[in-house]
Amino acid sequence: MALVHTVKTGETLPQIARDYRTSLSSIIAANPGINPYALYIGQQIIIPGIPSANTIPYKIEISTDNRWLRLYKNDVLQKQYPIAVGRMLHVTPVGNFIIINKAPNPGGPFGTMWMSLSKDHYGIHGTNDPSSIGHAVSHGCIRMHNQDVEELASIIPIGTSVFIHP
């Protein structure tokens, strides 16, 4: 079963395609009869290639104020990790997102693992500066210790839901 995205205020189909790192043509093909120029709030759009979060036992909850990431399996807390979050002018976005891909060894400040969120340019990643964990220092991403993000990435599948709140 594929992921279903619910259109929110101000969203366009090209932006939704970028957020899920999929082509506009594949979204149009998966949604027969869709008018890509006339979306409406609440419209349900199938995102091909990403499983429905309802089929995945894992979910992630992130508190930007408390600087933690919690992993749940079947609604039971499995583990809590310390994180770094976005600094002023580069705040971490709040809301519901999905893990849409994983990239080991992205290099530079992203540490040893990158997991993209369903919001263009945002993700959960490692770091080349472990002393930054626990602080508001990133450009909006969720930063973790390398061993923590590697462990998390080894557990959760693509399609895992991520809820970010203050």
Active site residues: 125, 141
Residue 1 class from Cβ within 10 Å (0-12 exposed, 13-18 middle, 19+ buried)?
A: exposed
In whole angstroms, what is the distance from residue 48 CA to residue 1 CA?
9
Could you give the 3-state DSSP secondary structure of residue 25? helix
Instruction: Decide if 161 contacts 97 (C-beta within 8 A).
Output: yes
> Which two tokens mark 127?
């770091």
